[in-house]
Structure 1
Amino acid sequence: MQKVGSGSVRAALAELVALPCLFSLRPRPGATREAPRIKWTKVRTASGQRQDLPILVAKDNVVRVAKGWQGRVSLPTYPRHRANATLLLGPLRASDSGLYRCQVVRGIEDEQDLVPLEVTGVVFHYRAALDRYSLTFAEAQEACRLNSATIAAPRHLQAAFEDGFDNCDAGWLSDRTVRYPITQSRPGCYGDRSSLPGVRNYGRRDPRELYDVYCFARELGGEVFYVGLARRLTLAGARAQCRRQGAVLASVGQLHLAWHEGLDQCDPGWLADGSVRYPIQTPRRRCGGPAPGVRTVYRFVNRTGFPAPGERFDAYYPLEKGMETHSSVLAWRISWTEECGSQRVGHDRSDLARMSPEISKR
């Protein structure tokens, strides 16, 4: 028995994916036609932390799936094709990213293979600049498009909910339904599920009705960087500075994707839509709440309104794929510093008092 090389797998949130595990079986005198024993295990998380999480075991033509994976995994060719132990997994969650091990045993022969999986894409809630629940369905679609995303499908929101996304704001989805995900039931957020956790569903709505929206950003296509300067900028100043560098401010979708890929910065900065946000991987004191997520600075205490354009903040900007080298980033920072003053370490904590604590959670 000998394994056939597989390689890494990359797929988007909520999709079905096949993790390949192929072997060539050499005929042996007197060997039976019984299917080999197959075991799949998740051995590392997306961050590289060791993990030993059993997924399934197939033996004697019976497949036993571990709790937590039931309904999401299968061996589509077992036991018909004895040399194919490919695992079908989905709908994918962000937490499925990591390293998987396939083990195949036939008699005294034992072979294994490792398959890396990367799940791309992130769901985020979006509220218009002026007020809560102010987007028609068409305006919701356009808001997502302007923020490097598309309007999320129900399967995207469900996958995000299963990974812990909790947000008590009704938003449009691509099928023209209005839903919101609740992991911890509380007054005002019961919807159609009473006190049970789940995705609340208002059903299919008139496209002229007004709600927020849930967007889905698939690929970053580069990297997002934070620029902190001694002299902060107004929104117009940040946009003008970007233009002088031949760029634009990062979009909300780009910042969420950067957060999804590990960006952690406890400093509010302007984005292209005129909002002010910042990404947190490791929650800590005075950085906007106890959970990871992208924080938002609102003008009003009821979590509505973007900051006035004349207020001063730092900025987040994107570099396209292939440009995010150390020298490119250094050149950007030097150029910004020369025009706007030296870089500042830390930030004025008074700005953080208005930051939303949860907006987006894993």
Structure 2
Amino acid sequence: MMSLLCITVISLTLAGRAVSETTSPYSILRVKAELGGNITLPCSLLPDSSIFGSFKVKWIKVGADETLNEDVLMSMGLHKRTYGSFEGRIFLQELDNHDASLVINDVSMEDMGKYRCEIMDGVEDVIQDVILEVENGLSGGVVFPYSPPIGRYNLNFDDAVQACADQGAEVASFEQLFAAWKSGLDWCNAGWLSDGTVQYPITKPREPCGGSNNKPGLRSYGRRNKQMNRFDVFCYVPDLKGHFYWLVQPERLTFDEAVQACINDNAEIATVSQMFAAWKLEAYDRCDAGWLADGSIRYPISRPRKNCSPTEAAVRFIGFPNKNVKSYGVYCFKAEQQE
């Protein structure tokens, strides 16, 4: 019978570091990596395990349900195969005959999530789950663009401050927007920053966004008149202090019905900042459009797929529909209980 090695001290790989939360053989381990660095996801057998011939190793990235699971690596003896975006940057560590740990190079924000290691020898399968967190230089926070229900470019500076506050956030600083750009934020609408400048981040240069011949970077309009000029805003939220979730309902809801449904579930309707935080910091993924507190309809996709944001991980924005329509569900939020 095979059993997993209880890991309390894990060797690091370059920029990555691993942290074990418990020593239970079947526990979920949690590891943290720096954006662009390397990390080892631990999985191993006890040294005294009896192994008769080669064993099979399978790594998958676990989705919201089994139909969304993503193959990462398969290994059987000398035969190994990697899949999708992992090709060319992952391999088994194989420090010894019992080691099935997975090394990921050039870690991206899209790599964040839960992984499952399965070791199979034809007699008994061994399973280890590992949650990968990716630090993006924002000290755990997230920057997101915001425009009001009346449309884009309608906020002076004071309005921008209030718009972020209404979402439980604050106006982002230049440093926070720069870190978000480094982690992949691309947005072609200019927004206020906390220093009174107006800028926007471009990772994929193109004509409508400062020109296709310019390099990637932050496009700046400089300091603008805080009362006269109107733009969007970039907000920043440092963390997610509570539980963000899709509320399962038998029918679609109007906005008022959505608000009440969350209250009936001992929660409140979620804000835009809570959706962005859950998406970016917890890899929340749901292909259902739902009401948020500002009257907008959005849904978060961390694993791009057909019909659900096929080309990129993103919080998809549907718009600000008539609040009396019954075409959408709702996202709710339960705050952490203060002791």
Q: Could you state the TM-score of these two structures normalised by the residue count of structure 2?
A: 0.60
CA distance in 1 between partners of 2:110 and 2:285 (Å): 18
How many pairs does the alignment contain?
A: 227
1:131 deviation in Å? Answer: 1.1
Residue 227 of structure 1, CA deviation: 1.3
SS across alignment from 2:268: coil
- Residue in structure 2 matched with residue 277 of structure 1 by the alignment: 298
Q: Is the 8 A contact 1:94 1:160 kept in 2?
A: no
Aligned partners of 2:253, 2:309: CA distance in 1, in Å? 22
Q: Does the Cα contact within 8 Å between 2:201 and 2:219 map onto a contact in 1?
A: yes
Task: Provide Cα deviations, 1:113-151, integer angstroms capped at 9, x if missing partner.
Answer: xxx985411000101112111111111111101111100
Structure 1 match to 2:14? 41
Does residue 308 in structure 1 map to residue 328 in structure 2? no
1:251 and 1:190 map into 2 onto residues whose CA distance is 31
The answer to whether the 8 Å contact 2:266/2:334 transfers is: no
Determine whether 1:200 maps to 2:243. no
Distance 1:287 1:95 in 2: 15
Conserved in 2, the CA contact under 8 Å of 1:45 and 1:97?
no
- Is 1:291 paired with 2:304? no
Spell out the pairing of 1:1-362 with structure 2 (5 A cutoff): 41-43=14-16, 48=31, 53=37, 119-190=139-210, 195-208=214-227, 209-260=229-280, 261-298=282-319, 306-312=320-326, 313-322=328-337
Structure 1 residues 252-279: Cα deviation after superposition (integer angstroms, max 9, x where no partner): 0011111111211000110111011111
In structure 2, the CA distance between the partners of 1:163 and 1:232, relative to structure 1 (3 Å rule), is same
2: CA distance, partners of 1:43 / 1:221: 25
String of CA shifts for 1:29-58, please: whole Å, max 9, x gaps.
Answer: xxxxxxxxxx98124699859999579xxx
Q: Is the 8 A contact 2:142 2:237 kept in 1?
A: yes
The answer to whether the Cα contact below 8 Å between 1:94 and 1:120 also exists between their aligned partners in 2 is: no
Aligned pair in 2 of structure 1 residues 164, 45: CA closer, same or farther (>3 Å)?
A: farther
**Contact 2:167/2:272 (CA < 8 Å) preserved in 1?**
yes
Identity percentage over the alignment? Answer: 38
Deviation digits for residues 164-200 of structure 1 (CA, Å, limit 9, x no counterpart)? 1101000000001000000111111117x95211100
- Any conservation in 1 of the 2:112–2:283 contact (CA below 8 Å)? no
Q: Which runs of 5+ in 2 are unaligned?
A: 1-8, 20-29, 40-107, 114-132
Report the CA distance shift for 1:176/1:308 in structure 2 as closer, same or farther (over 3 A): same
Instruction: Determine if contact 1:95/1:163 at 8 Å carries over to the other structure.
Output: no
Q: Distance in 1 between matches of 2:147 and 2:194?
A: 16
How far does residue 308 in structure 1 lie from its aligned partner after superposition? Answer: 1.2
2:181 alignment partner AA: F
Letter in 1 for 2:329: D
- One-letter identity of the residue aligned with 2:321: P
Q: SS of the residue aligned with 2:221?
A: strand
CA contact (8 A) 2:32 2:134 kept: no
**Unaligned 5+ residue runs, structure 1?**
1-6, 8-38, 56-92, 99-115, 299-305, 324-362
Q: What is the rounded CA distance, in whole Å, between the counterparts of 2:156 and 2:149 in structure 1?
A: 14
CA-CA distance at 1:241 after TM superposition:
2.4
CA shift, 1:219, in A, is 1.5
Aligned-residue Cα RMSD (Å) equals: 3.6
Distance (whole Å) between structure 1 residues aligned to residue 336 and residue 149 of structure 2: 29
Post-superposition shift, 1:94? Answer: 6.8
SS in 2 for 1:319: strand
CA offset at residue 228 of structure 1? Answer: 3.1
d(CA) in 2 for partners of 1:125, 1:296: 11
Q: TM-score, normalised by structure 1?
A: 0.56
Amino acid at match of 2:160: A
